[in-house]
Amino acid sequence: MLKGFRFPHPLVLIVGFIILAAALSYVLPAGEFSRHLDAATGRQVVVAGSYHAVPATPVGPLDMLVDIPKGLADAAAVVFLIFLAGGAFTVVDQTGALRFGVDWLLRRAHGREVLVIPLVGTLFATMGALENMGEEIIPLVPVLLVLMRRLGYPVLTAVAASVGAAFVGAAFSPINPFQVGIAQKLAQLPLLSGGGYRLGFLLVAVGGWLWATTRHAVRHRQVPDLALDQNEAAAAGVAPASARPGLVLLLMLAAFAAFAYGVVQLHWEFEQMSALFLGLGIVAGLLGGRGFTGTAEGFIAGFRDIAFSAILVGFARAIFVVLEQGHIVDTIVNGLAAPLAHLPVTLAALGMMGVQTLLHVPVPSGSGQATLTMPLLVPLSDILGLSRQVTVLAFQYGAGLCELITPTNGTLMAMLAATGVRFEQWVKFAAPLWAALFMLGAVAVVVGIAVGV
Residue 423 included in any domain: yes
Residue 55 included in any domain: no
Whole-number pLDDT of residue 230: 52
Report the range of poorest mean pLDDT among 167-171, 222-226, 264-268.
222-226
Parent domain of 326: 10-50+62-451
Report pLDDT digits (tens) over 282-337. 999 999 999 999 999 999 999 998 898 889 989 999 999 999 999 999 999 999 88
Residue 1 included in any domain: no
Residue 56 included in any domain: no
Residue 351 included in any domain: yes
Residue 124 included in any domain: yes
Number of neighbouring beta carbons within 10 Å of residue 169: 27
Rounded to an integer, the average pLDDT of 381-406 is 94
Total domains in the chain come to: 1
Whole-number pLDDT of residue 29: 96
Residue 2 included in any domain: no
- Pick the closest to residue 345 from 314, 308, 391, 312 (CA basis): 391
Whole-number pLDDT of residue 234: 47
Rounded to the nearest 10°, the torsion over CA 337, 341, 344, 347 is: 0
Work out the burial of residue 275: count CB atoms within 10 Å of its CB; fewer than 13 is exposed, 13-18 middle, 19 or more buried: middle
Residue 57 included in any domain: no
